[in-house]
Amino acid sequence: MDVASRATVSRLPKSATKDRRIAVIDIGSNSIRLVVFDGLKRAPVTVFNEKVLCGLGRGLQSSGQLSPEGVELAVPNLIRFTALTHAMGVERVDLIATAAVRDAQNGPDFVKTVEQVCGHPVNVLSGSEEARLSALGVIAGNPQADGIMGDLGGGSLELVDVKNGKIGAATTLALGPLRLMESCGDNRQKARAKIDDTLEAVDWLSAGEGRFFYPVGGAWRNLARLHIEQKRHPLHAIHGYTIASDEAIKLARLVSRQGKSSLSGIDFISRRRRETLPLGSLVLGRLLRKAKSRSVSFSTYGLREGYLFDQLSKRHKAEDPLLWTAREFAEREGRFGGLGSALLRWSDPLFPEEDAEERRLREAVCHLSDFAWREHPDFRAKQAMRRILHYPLVAIDHRGRSFLAYTIFLRYGGLPTAPESEAAVLLLSERWQVRARLLGSALRLAFRVSGATGEILDHCQLRADGGVLELVLPNDGTVPDGEAVHRRLRALAAIGGFDDCRIVV
């Protein structure tokens, strides 16, 4: 095995880096990927992400060896990855390897070479450990996950039952597309029979009936993107994108029958991915039929995120990742520190009968309500909405994301029927639109009264007195009113259906 020499690059000084960034290099059967996270956090943000489709697992089933071409491509790119992390000033670099490396006869030699040229140890995960960490990734991104997690790599498929943050039955199956390509070639019927026979041996798969299925992995993320494009769905966020199982089976059947040339016109599917996507789709379709899942909810969190989540304390694992992200966002982007908790209390009287999820989303909005102040006033509402629609939030579905974005749009003065808000409004029922308008108007009043300072906000309050909405201010003149305050109070009262409004000193 030829070995390239180490790459040497200059390193950024510590003062030039933020947080305690962590790099995870994932050596998979089909691809290798470098992801740099902004730290060991409840909801880490990706700072850098790059992959190379090497195909280390090609031919493994017949030869027992890693693909020579794959190794030749992987080693210099792994050297490059580690050199990049050094240049970025990343102090912690973790390399993890999965099915191809653990199963290949020359896997230990490959690991030895990589450790020599990269200067970091390689953690070769067992099948059970890979399944566990992938499931933890889904739980990290959706603490309420209830169903079966499936992580499809090039060499294997990990299946895990998850419920209420707990991991149940788990198994690893040799159903990666690279292995199916090798054992079945272009014979779709043979591949289908092999998939069905392999799934039949999983005696607990019936536990998925009527529950969610959570697909993880690049091939299945591509299917989510295809469905979003096919249905012209207004949001392009993959995490939390949920469709009926029948819809997913229909799409999987269609893609499984396509050849490479048929997929060549789809820009976001790479040339190498076109080779494996049809078989990956076939696996998904047969799996959903066997498990009898009700719905499919795609997860962008998987093995790497689960690997980090596993290292958090019990207290940090228990935190709500959406609210954690919103609070961190507020502290980083807000003008005078986070106002979320104060705004939540301040707006409580307007929402006396909300359920726990409605309150949770309202709290997230409150935390996120002052991050766009640097934007030009003419574009602030639109830019804020777009940022929320596309920010890597987790533990939230598309309706919830739309509610956050639309409310923030209104908080910054966007018109309720403005064409630019259509992408968000399309996913909201009339009831959720009304909630967004009411909360957006309340936040506009709160920021007008307080000047975005918690000290002033803590000394005034809203009060619903029958059909009258009251703004209660201290009588010492420390919180002055004015025409703008009166105007926004009247607007809020109108949206809330109050008969009248008044300021009480």
Q: What CATH number is given to the structural domain containing 150?
A: 3.30.420.150
- Residue 414 and residue 266 share a domain: no
The pair of three-digit structure tokens given for residue 461, joined into one six-digit string: 């309050």
Same domain, 138 and 245: yes
Residues 449, 400, single domain; the answer is yes
Q: Are residues 435 and 486 in the same domain?
A: yes
Is the domain of 136 the same as that of 32?
Answer: no
Within a domain: residue 4?
Answer: no
187: amino acid identity, one letter: N
- pLDDT for the residue 6: 52
Output the pLDDT for position 293: 97
314 lies in some domain: no
Q: Domain of 371: which CATH number?
A: 1.10.3210.10
Total number of domains constituting the chain: 3
pLDDT at 275: 82
- Digit-coded pLDDT (tens) for 300-337: 999 999 999 999 999 999 999 999 999 998 888 888 87
pTM of this structure: 0.91
Domain CATH for 41: 3.30.420.40
- Do 375 and 269 belong to one domain? no
pLDDT on residue 322: 97
- List of residues 6+ apart from 319 with CB closer than 8 A: 42
**Helical residues (DSSP H) of 292-397, grouped into ranges:** 303-309, 314-317, 321-333, 340-347, 356-367, 380-390
Residue 13's pLDDT band (boundaries 50, 70, 90)? very low
Lowest-confidence region among 216-220, 272-276, 362-366? 272-276
Q: Pick the residue with more confidence: 91 or 394?
A: 394
Over range 393-404, report the average pLDDT.
96
Binned at pLDDT 50, 70 and 90, residue 356 comes out as very high
In a domain, 311, yes or no: no
Q: Is 2's pLDDT higher than 70?
A: no
Residues 52 and 176 in one domain: no
Residue at 106 is within a domain: yes
Q: Among candidates 358, 329, 362, which has minimal Cα distance to 343?
A: 362
Instruction: Taking residues 33-48, report their average pLDDT.
Output: 96
**Residues 6 or more apart whose Cβ sits within 8 Å of residue 496:** 350, 438, 441, 469
Residue 169 belongs to some domain of the structure: yes
Burial (CB count <10 Å: 0-12, 13-18, 19+), residue 247: middle
**Position 7 pLDDT exceeds 60:** no
At residue 9, the pLDDT reads 46
Take residue 145 and report the two structure tokens written for it.
């996950």
Same domain, 400 and 497: yes
10 pLDDT more than 50 = no
Q: For residue 478, is pLDDT > 80? A: no
Same domain, 102 and 177: no
Q: Are residues 396 and 337 in the same domain?
A: yes
pLDDT surpasses 80 at 174: yes
Assigned token pair, 349: 């009287």
| Total number of residues shown for the chain | 505
List the one residue out of 400, 404, 363 whose CA is nearest residue 387: 404
Would you state the structure tokens that stand for residue 367, as one six-digit string? 């935390």
Q: Report, as an integer, the average pLDDT of 392-414.
A: 97
Over the stretch 104-145, which tens digit does the pLDDT of each residue have?
999 999 999 999 999 999 999 999 999 999 999 999 999 999
Domain with 186, as residue range(s), is 128-306
| 3-class state of residue 405 by DSSP | helix
Chosen domain end from 89, 124, 159: 124
Of 68-77, 308-317, 474-483, the poorest mean pLDDT is in 474-483
Over range 286-307, report the average pLDDT: 97
Condensed to tens digits (0 to 9), the pLDDT of residues 229-269 reads: 999 999 999 999 999 999 999 999 999 998 777 777 777 77
H or E element: which one contains 182?
A: helix 177-184
Model pLDDT, residue 19: 64
362 domain residue, yes or no? yes
Confidence of residue 57 (pLDDT cuts 50, 70, 90): very high
Interstrand relation of 146-152 and 212-216 (parallel, antiparallel or unpaired)? parallel
- Structure token digits, residue 6: 């180490």
| % the chain with pLDDT above 90 | 81
Place of tokens 């198994």: 171
Kindly list the distances between the CA atom of residue 478 and the CA atoms of 421, 460, 481, in Å, as whole numbers in the listed order. 37, 10, 10
487 is a domain residue: yes
330 with 292, same domain: the answer is no
Domain final position from 102, 124, 146:
124
State the maximum Cα–Cα separation within the chain, in Å, rounded to a whole number.
84
- Residue 378 above 70 pLDDT? yes
**Structure letter (DSSP) for residue 40:** S
Amino acid 4: pLDDT:
44
Are 240 and 371 in the same domain?
A: no
Domain contains 86: yes
The domain boundary residue, chosen from 243, 274, 306: 306
- Mean per-residue pLDDT for 175-196? 93
pLDDT band at 8 (very low <50, low <70, confident <90, very high): very low
How far is Cα 124 from Cα 97, in angstroms, rounded to an integer? Answer: 5
Measured distance CA(150)–CA(131) in Å, rounded:
9
Q: Are 224 and 268 in contact (CB under 8 A)?
A: no
Whole-number mean pLDDT of the chain?
A: 92
